[in-house]
A = this chain, B = another copy of it.
Amino acid sequence: MTGQHLFKALADPTRRDILKLLRSGSQSAGDIADHFTITKASLSHHFNLLKQAELVRTERRGQHIVYSLNTSVMEDAATMLVALLSPTQENTLEDAPDDI
């Protein structure tokens, strides 16, 4: 996992709002759309990016397609973030060469 898809998916406020919505339970694309002012076509585009990042899963139920959080990716994401930002023990700013 490169993080490319993940962080890109998280970079958009609409997509983060979709994720927030889904925290309270799975919803169909149409139900999700009721919470937004943009068109369903635009939302579908966002759904695609969220799926690409594996942040959500889909399941068809008759006419509806139900979106739900893929919670298993959450730990990976948090781990990735920590890994990205955790400094190694040596070398902090204070240790930087004082080459003034």
Contact = CB atoms under 8 A, between A and B. Distances in A.
B90 A24 contact: yes
A69 interface: yes
A61 B93 CA distance: 11
B4 A13 contact: yes
Q: How many copies does the complex hold?
A: 2
Instruction: Pick from A16, A69, A93 the residue with the most CB of B within 10 Å.
Output: A93
Given A10-B84, A66-B96, A69-B85, 8 more contacts: A7-B7, A8-B11, A16-B84, A24-B90, A62-B100, A71-B87, A78-B81, A78-B82
Interface residues of A, number: 49
B100 A86 contact: no
Given A74-B82, A87-B71, A95 B11 contact: no
A4 B7 CA distance: 11
Instruction: Pick from A11, A27, A77 the residue with the most CB of B within 10 Å.
Output: A11
